[in-house]
Amino acid sequence: MFATVDRAEGSVATMEHHVLNIHPADKYATATEIAARDGRVLMFLDTKHGVDQFTRHLRSSGIQAGAPHSGKSQPQRTHTLAQFKDGKITVLVATDVAARGIHIEHLDLVVNVDPPSDPKDYLHRGGRPRVPGSPAAWSRWSRPASAGT
């Protein structure tokens, strides 16, 4: 018997996926290079603390980034999303809560800096913040087998 409260299929019909095999010590540097690309990027991390830390890192690297998570006031979140919509911020860094709560049109790339712990969150991260059919791609980090445990 199969029971679910969510649709079994994802909300995005086509999506390009990439897996990057990098050493954990290179994760921030690689994510920073990706964030510096042209276009609008949404990057996901596991915790609000991680989001804030990575957002500060991106800003110190000269990348216009914002973090609209639940630890911010509603006016702060609204302002950050408006700046992203207007192009003043090119990178949003968020947790899974944002994947379920915001809708972003014309997004160029979604990056899982930290992979989701729940498979449904993978769908929410890729499907909710995008318009189906837009040319966004997905990236996910994978620890190389030789990196040790």
- For 18-75, the pLDDT digits (tens) are 778 888 889 899 999 999 999 899 898 889 999 999 999 999 999 999 998 778 888 9
**CA distance linking residue 144 with residue 105, whole number of Å:** 33
pLDDT at 118 over 60: yes
Residue 49: both structure tokens together: 């603390």
pLDDT-based confidence at 137, cuts 50/70/90? low
Please name the residues in contact with 21: beta carbons below 8 A apart, sequence gap of 6 or more.
Answer: 142, 143, 144
pLDDT for 51: 93
Domain boundaries, the chain: 16-143
Q: Output the CA–CA distances (angstroms, integers) from residue 31 to 35, 54, 79, 84, 140, in the order listed.
A: 6, 9, 24, 18, 10
Lowest mean pLDDT among 10-14, 85-89, 116-120: 10-14
pLDDT-based confidence at 124, cuts 50/70/90? low
CATH class belonging to 16-143: alpha beta
φ/ψ of 95, rounded to 5, equals -100, 180
